[in-house]
A and B are shown apart, each in its own frame.
Chain A
Amino acid sequence: DAGITQSPRHKVTETGTPVTLRCHQTENHRYMYWYRQDPGHGLRLIHYSYGVKDTDKGEVSDGYSVSRSKTEDFLLTLESATSSQTSVYFCAISVPRGGYTFGSGTRLTVV
């Protein structure tokens, strides 16, 4: 989507390895979010940020950490990947009119 990019788009990693997903926005929005989407569970909030170095946990934050050192970048780290973290990860920004704009997603497979 315009203004928000995620990298990588796909990743396969081994259990126990660290993984970092990147979200980059060009819109200078204050709020950024990381969600995971799994069949039967829908979108669930992992962490969100309300400014540089200001972050908070969401519904499913265990096993994940985040960092935001610049307005435009929000990083999601899996310290030690597990198979239960196989999922599609979406970054989102909240937009002035309300609601979110989502990135294209990262499909992560932990083997």
Chain B
Amino acid sequence: QKEVEQNSGPLSVPEGAIASLNCTYSDRGSQSFFWYRQYSGKSPELIMSIYSNGDKEDGRFTAQLNKASQYVSLLIRDSQPSDSATYLCAPPGSGNQFYFGTGTSLTVIP
């Protein structure tokens, strides 16, 4: 049973548009979520953390957490070609339970 589900995409958006990436999870106890960006051939990089219900903004990125719906999203405003990557979401995990989503591939078209 998957703990974290993401649409694998690929998702394509034109430059300057808003990219919306979504993630659902099954563990109602998850209190926080993390978003990672992974460029092709590189390792994942932590880009956003959200610890409470609602929105968290950081520059062009906004993370949204809805615990009641067990849903977390990442919005990228004014998308740039450099945002083209795979985005992974993950709850914090505990014990030996550490799960990542399989990732959503995003392509920003110039």
Contacts and interface: CB of A to CB of B under 8 A. Distances in A.
B72 interface: no
Contacts of A67: none
A58 B43 contact: no
Interface in B58-110: 88, 90, 92, 95-96, 98, 100-103
B51 A42 contact: no
B96 A103 contact: no
A104 B98 contact: no
A93 B29 CA distance: 23
Interface string A15-57: 0000000000000000001000000111101001000000011
B43 A103 contact: yes
Contact of A97 (B45, B49, B96, B98): B49
- 6 nearest interchain CB pairs? A42-B102, A102-B43, A99-B34, A43-B100, A99-B46, A45-B98
Interface of B: 32, 34, 36, 42-46, 49, 51, 88, 90, 92, 95-96, 98, 100-103
Interface of A: 1, 33, 40-43, 45, 48, 56-59, 90, 95, 97-105
